[in-house]
Amino acid sequence: MRREPAQTLGDYTPLLFPAAMLTIFFVVPFGTMIAVSFFQRQQGGFYTPAFVYDNYARFLSAFFGGVLGFSLMLAIAVAVCCVVLALPFTYLLTRMARSVQVLWLVALLSVLSLSEVIIGFAWSTLFSRTAGITNILVALGLMGEAQALTPSFGAVLTGMVYQAFPYTVLVLFPALVRLDPTLTEAARTLGASPLKAFFTVVVPALRNTIVATLIMVFIFALGSYLLPQLLGRPQHWTLSVLITDQAIYQSNMPFAAAMAVFLVLVTLGLVALTVIAGRKGEAA
Amino acid sequence: MSSIFRQFYFFLIALFLALPLIVVAGVSINQKQTLAFPPEGFSVSWYGEIFLNPEWRNALLASITLAVLSAALAVAIALPLAWFLWRRVAPWANIFQLLGVAPFTLPPVITALGMLTFWATAGFYGQPWTAVVSHAIFFVTLPLVTLSLGFTSIDRSLVEAAATMGADDRKIFRTVVLPLILPYIVSGYAFAFVLSLNEYIVAYMTVGFTMETLPIKIFNALRYGYTPTMASVTILFVLTAAIIFGLVARFGDLPKLLGAMASEGK
């Protein structure tokens, strides 16, 4: 049966439930949040309907600028680390036997689905003084005394790379599966080493995919809301952490909502960039 | 790249992914209530604690109930939508496809905060069912993507044959379409289930003050100190995810599903 236009109004009935659910429970909450971002905050955690720009005006403070700058820097660092680690890995993975691929994909999905709470707990354990990685180094005689590696910037970065690495592999996977294997074969026949073939043939052929992946991992990392809190110091807090903190602990919903709206705009801008990068990829 | 170098590289990645979990697994079998690795003594009592301690057991039950219901609701939203988009030419209806993918693409804090302001304004803040609806919307992307893929893989001539023989839409759906897309329904449900089980921020912002799911319980326990039960719950979660994804891979085409999912996310 070919796709055909709806004949009667009754043909639209299947759309009713999904459309209603998505509108009431996604569009309306989104609108509510935007409305609240213009509301006036009252002492004691309440807010009253109003139309003020105060919540947005607070963005102009040095503190907010610092948090925003740090968030962006951290997300860029995570995206670069992940793509550098994941690109050769995914490339080699797609050239392995199917059963090995499936095994790795199951493992990656299992790590990807882990709660940030669990990832944070696992890494804080691994970086702790009593049960951490330094104990192994002490046992091997490489270190004199066990020490705590968290809270620190390195711990935050490691935790976030751990969280985003499986995601990066899964984003790269389809593009690398589709990559024409004759490309590298040709390079090899002409005498290039495997490493040289990878950097001179595979990487340039995937330039747009790499850019799109960097942006997607960047957005993913921007959403991390617990790891900076669990593995870092307050100066390592990101915009996502700050939003949670304002909404829950400071009870300043209007300001939290204003920051969330700002984060949406940043994200949407980046998604648009990804789409443009993807289009260029198709044209090439 | 030479084979030895490649194996070493894969070994390092595997170590990176597994190391935190190995340490947590080690910690979870400590005999005493201390955070120590290598483990001192051996005991599985911290696994028993999940089921025997009423607080952890309630959190486990809350998490499972939430995941079972919200994944079902997510499939109930995604199935008619994906079917409609496959059956009808209605370009404007693609807006709902976009709405279904949006919550998953945006940073999770945004969906969480939107839900918080919405439920607070509507006066239902803290009710357990609000978390079910919130999770269903948050994770509707997963069944939507797997089902869209399932529908595109249906051979339309099968459906046409049924129509020629006089079957109406309802009958075709039940006898031809449903059996063909059942694997995609199951995998969509499985993805939504596992992610809901692990989800923290949306659950916390909707019902965090009235109910404890396991991730909320772990986070609260983390703030007030350490108990080995956190480690045993972590291992339980990793195993659950691995078993469910293993089953999806065993009975479905995991590389194909993931291929579709990632390209949809763009």
Could you report the per-residue pLDDT of A194-242, keeping only the tens digit for each? Answer: 788 888 888 888 888 898 889 889 988 998 888 998 898 888 889 999 8
Range A245-270 average pLDDT: 87
Same domain, yes or no: B93 and B189: yes
User: Count of CB atoms within 10 A of residue B178's CB?
Assistant: 13
Which pLDDT band, with edges at 50, 70 and 90, does A151 fall under? confident
ipTM of predicted complex: 0.85
Nearest to A131 by CA among A115, A116, A118, A149: A149
What's this model's pTM, rounded to 2 decimal places?
0.88
Q: Does B257 touch chain A (CB under 8 A)?
A: no
Same domain, yes or no: B115 and B73: yes
pLDDT in tens, A25-74: 999 999 989 998 888 877 666 677 777 777 787 777 778 888 888 999 99
Same domain, yes or no: B145 and B106: yes
Q: Is residue B50 part of a domain?
A: no
Q: Is residue B25 part of a domain?
A: yes
Residue with the two structure tokens 């260029």:
A280
Same domain, yes or no: B97 and B26: no
Same domain, yes or no: B25 and B62: no
Same domain, yes or no: B94 and B203: yes
Amino acid at A251: S
Same domain, yes or no: B33 and B106: no
The token pair that represents B37 in the structure block: 């690795």
Q: Is residue B48 part of a domain?
A: no
Same domain, yes or no: B139 and B108: yes
pLDDT at position A184: 78
Same domain, yes or no: B63 and B190: yes
The token pair that represents A24 in the structure block: 């009431």
CB contact under 8 Å between B238 and A2, yes or no, is no
Amino acid at B169: D
Mind giving me the DSSP string for A88-140?
HHHHHHHTS-HHHHHHHHHHHHHHHTS-HHHHHHHHHHHTSTTTSHHHHHHHT
Q: Does B263 touch chain A (CB under 8 A)?
A: yes
Q: Does B230 touch chain A (CB under 8 A)?
A: yes
The token pair that represents B127 in the structure block: 């009710």
Is residue A284 over pLDDT 50? no
CA dihedral of B100, B106, B111, B117, whole degrees rounded to 10: -120
Low-confidence residues in chain B, pLDDT < 70: 1-2, 34, 259-266
Question: Looking at chain A, which residue has its C-alpha nearest residue B227?
Answer: A121
Domain containing residue B191: CATH number:
1.10.3720.10
Domains of chain A: 68-283 (1.10.3720.10)
Q: Is residue B53 part of a domain?
A: no
Same domain, yes or no: B192 and B66: yes
Question: Looking at chain B, which residue has its C-alpha nearest residue A159?
Answer: B20
Same domain, yes or no: B7 and B82: no
Range A110-119 average pLDDT: 89
Whether A173 and B262 have beta carbons less than 8 Å apart is answered as yes
Whether B23 and B39 have beta carbons less than 8 Å apart is answered as no
Range A86-103 average pLDDT: 90
Domain total of chain B = 2
pLDDT at position A2: 66
Whether B20 and A227 have beta carbons less than 8 Å apart is answered as no
pLDDT in tens, B212-244: 999 999 888 888 877 888 889 989 989 999 999
Q: Is residue B51 part of a domain?
A: no
Question: Looking at chain B, which residue has its C-alpha nearest residue A104?
Answer: B14
Residue with the two structure tokens 């209806």:
B93
Domain that holds residue B151: 58-265
